């Protein structure tokens, strides 16, 4: 992609085109917008950051970018874990975090219409005021935006029962590379008119268009407070086997999370919760009317799988405290050193095999790995912890990560379950898609963004 010369005159032109937006050119401020949570990737020096306040601003930005052949890197709150919002040289960063309106909560049809910058937890809180819930629950729920969730097809703790972001998106509004506005989907429960353009854009990581708003599916609130089951296991592989038993029994927990010994020790060293002697822990919750009976069955399944101890709690405060242990995982890992947080998925029946492969890769390359997993849907997050004075990822870490990625594909899995490909996994994507899948993906990208302006280096 060739870019035209852009200087102060062109940037002043952009400022006049979007008077309601904030245009930032101060290098010190711009530097705060060049990374997401992946700081181990080198970031370029963008021309500026523009913060639109309405869809019309984004239209003007993309028309300007097309006219001057300027690449555009869209971003939300910057909570991504794959380098999807890493800036590049001479690009324009378009930050949608100022478009925060929750335009409508429609209880009759159980939908919400929200702008891309709306915080995920705020959408859920607004839905709960109407007796409903927004189901997707990424770990960054209090910080991440709906636009970012849509871009990466974010998941979270509740997705084992309620699905990932794609399952909750009924339609989107997106600005294409040339400034045209695309509206997809609607408010109906069923809609099979034409191609599934909504599904195409969910998970496209800003490479096909900039999502400015979304129509979201809302669900009824659970009928009761959750019942929580916690099991301690003698090994990570044993715990993974217990997960397969729970899923095979059709018990449908609202969450089923796995933490390994290294992660439990990291949390315990920080919070002193008495966890360091446990080799692996499973946390399950149930929120159905018959949650007590389901929890009792899980207690038996955990025990049969070899759990050292199992505890069941119906107290809402205690359940919240137990779940907080899981939410402490990433900050606890970050206290150990620099982190490369990964995200592979395998069929649940092969979870134990994937866990064993992660452990072998860590041992073979002498790399420290702490692992948590959305175990109920086979989505693992091995986190590679390392020391690096200059911030670069050591070769041994990449070797171990490569082994993990290829292991997931060999087990009929995926390179990413919810974080996205971003820049981190670009080199492995063709291995999963294959030559035909890669060619089709490139054809779609070329059709919607022929100049290659949208989030270059991501996607195909």
The torsion of the CA quartet 423, 425, 430, 432, rounded to 10 degrees, works out to -140
Question: What's the chain's length in residues?
Answer: 460
Where do you find CATH 3.30.43.10 in the chain? 8-95
Percent of the chain with pLDDT over 70: 99
Please tell me the least confidently modeled range out of 321-325, 396-400, 451-455: 321-325
pLDDT digits (tens, 9 = 90+) for 300-356: 999 999 999 999 999 999 888 888 888 899 999 999 999 999 999 999 999 999 999
Instruction: Supply the CATH classification number for the domain 102-220.
Output: 3.30.465.10
More confident: 28 or 2: 28
What's the rounded Cα separation, in Å, for the pair 280 and 301?
16
pLDDT score recorded for residue 3: 46
For the domain with range 227-410, which CATH number is right: 3.40.462.40, 1.10.3720.10, 3.30.360.10, 3.40.190.10?
Answer: 3.40.462.40
pLDDT score recorded for residue 374: 95
Task: Extract the tokens encoding 129.
Answer: 């005021």
pTM: 0.94
pLDDT score recorded for residue 119: 98
Please state the separation of Cα 128 from the chain's center in Å.
23
- The pLDDT-based confidence of 371 (bands split at 50, 70, 90) is very high
Where do you find CATH 3.30.465.10 in the chain? 102-220
The CA radius of gyration of the chain, in Å to the nearest whole number, is 22
pLDDT score recorded for residue 4: 52
pLDDT digits (tens, 9 = 90+) for 57-74: 999 999 999 999 999 999
pLDDT score recorded for residue 239: 95
Percent of the chain with pLDDT over 90: 91
Q: Are 165 and 155 in contact (CB under 8 A)?
A: yes
Q: What CATH topology corresponds to 8-95?
A: 3.30.43
Where do you find CATH 3.40.462.40 in the chain? 227-410
- The pLDDT-based confidence of 275 (bands split at 50, 70, 90) is confident
Contacts by residues 258-261 (CB-CB < 8 Å, ≥ 24 positions apart): 258/282, 258/371, 258/372, 258/373, 258/375, 258/380, 259/283, 259/325, 259/326, 259/329, 259/371, 259/372, 260/236, 260/355, 260/370, 260/371, 260/372, 261/236
pLDDT score recorded for residue 5: 65
């Amino acid at each position: 992609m060739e870019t035209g010369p852009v200087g102060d005159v062109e940037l002043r032109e952009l400022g006049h085109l979007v008077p309601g937006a904030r245009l930032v050119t101060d290098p010190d401020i711009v530097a705060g917008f060049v990374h997401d949570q992946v700081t181990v990737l080198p970031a370029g020096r963008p021309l500026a950051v523009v913060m639109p306040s309405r869809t019309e601003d984004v239209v003007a930005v993309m028309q300007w970018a097309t006219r001057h052949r300027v690449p555009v890197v869209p971003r939300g709150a910057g909570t991504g874990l794959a380098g999807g919002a890493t800036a590049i040289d001479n690009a324009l960063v378009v930050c949608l975090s100022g478009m925060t309106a929750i335009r409508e909560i429609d209880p009759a049809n159980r939908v919400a219409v929200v702008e891309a910058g709306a915080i995920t937890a705020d959408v859920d809180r607004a839905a709960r005021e109407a007796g409903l819930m927004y189901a997707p629950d990424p770990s960054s729920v209090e910080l991440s935006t709906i636009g970012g969730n849509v871009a990466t097809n974010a998941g979270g703790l509740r997705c084992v029962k309620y699905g990932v972001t794609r399952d909750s998106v009924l339609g989107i509004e997106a600005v294409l590379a040339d400034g045209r506005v695309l509206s997809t989907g609607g408010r109906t429960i069923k809609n099979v008119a034409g191609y599934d353009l909504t599904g195409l854009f969910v998970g496209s990581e800003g490479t096909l268009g900039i999502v400015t708003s979304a129509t979201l599916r809302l669900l009824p609130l659970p009928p009761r407070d959750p019942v929580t089951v916690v099991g301690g296991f003698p090994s990570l592989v044993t715990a993974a086997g217990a997960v397969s038993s729970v899923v095979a029994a059709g018990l449908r927990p609202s969450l089923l999370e796995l933490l390994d010994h290294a992660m439990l020790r990291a949390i315990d060293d920080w919070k002193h919760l008495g966890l360091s002697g446990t080799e692996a822990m499973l946390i399950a919750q149930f929120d159905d009317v018959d949650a007590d009976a389901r929890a009792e069955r899980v207690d038996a399944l955990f025990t049969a799988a070899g759990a050292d101890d199992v505890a069941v709690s119906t107290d809402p405060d205690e359940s919240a405290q137990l779940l907080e242990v899981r939410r402490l995982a990433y900050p606890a890992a970050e206290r150990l050193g620099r982190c490369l947080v990964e995200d592979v998925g395998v069929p649940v029946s092969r979870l134990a095999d994937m866990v064993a492969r992660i452990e072998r890769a860590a041992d073979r390359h002498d790399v420290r790995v702490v692992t948590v997993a959305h175990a109920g849907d086979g989505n693992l997050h091995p986190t590679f912890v390392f020391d690096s004075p200059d911030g670069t990822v050591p070769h041994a870490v990449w070797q171990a990560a490569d082994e993990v990625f290829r292991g997931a594909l060999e087990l009929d899995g995926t390179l990413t379950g919810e974080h996205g490909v971003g820049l981190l996994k670009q080199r492995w994507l063709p291995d999963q898609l294959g030559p035909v899948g890669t060619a089709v993906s490139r054809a779609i990208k070329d059709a919607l963004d022929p100049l290659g302006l949208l989030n270059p280096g991501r996607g195909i």
